[in-house]
A = this chain, B = another copy of it.
């Protein structure tokens, strides 16, 4: 780890989520470099824009901006050019290209992505659905869900449900334990909506030992016993086969990666279509 700190300044007329994602993707390539991410968000007045640019200049920051006002974009780009600052204008090239192709003007509303429209309310509803039908709380949710996730303990069911909810999908999940009763509703669900999650036994063993330690308990309980884990996985795999559902081993996958596979395999990518 070097001592020097480098700065990335996000300047946005909205919440700055797009630019932050980019900054984080770039920063994650440098585990040993100190990078401070500073966000100047909801910049709606010229004076705020000027102040943000001046502060960025003071620490010779890498600037990433997402601004919809053409006047502000031009001002920011020109300021950076004149002051020899590294500046990435990520939003306006794509917005302008769509204007050129379609012949239609953009709405120019900052944060249009977060406008309180039907899609937004559907997303809120999907998140509430995920919480309501997490952990097999109510099997009725299976029949309403876009996706039903099954899996033994520690296969990312909850975070995966929430991540997919953020993509407007209604997700219910059910933990699998050999002794447990499988709700009859599961057999009424289209198998093409079901995803069976699995993991490598040695990984589950390690994760579960850590979990027990975190709870201040003996790490070597039945929960983390490798034979018990193998039994659970065998039970789960047999059920997945019987259901004829998609099976994903999450051992080396992040939730983003698992979600991406699910969207592709379940043909749910059309959900990202627009208009």
A contacts, CB < 8 Å to B: 1-2, 4-6, 8, 14-18, 20-39, 41-42, 62, 64, 66, 68, 86, 88, 90-91, 93-95, 97-98, 101-102, 104, 106-109, 111-116, 120, 123-124, 127-128, 130-131, 134-135, 156, 158-159, 162, 165-166, 252, 254-257, 259-260, 264, 269, 272-275
Contacts and interface: CB of A to CB of B under 8 A. Distances in A.
Given A91-B26, A159-B128, A272 B98 contact: no
A15 B127 contact: no
Nearest to A103: B2
Contacts of A22: 18, 22, 90-91, 94
6 contacts: A15-B254, A26-B94, A30-B106, A37-B272, A116-B252, A127-B159
A23 B66 CA distance: 12
B275 A33 contact: yes
B274 A17 contact: no
A113 B30 CA distance: 10
A156 B124 contact: yes
Contact of A29 (B18, B98, B260, B264): B98
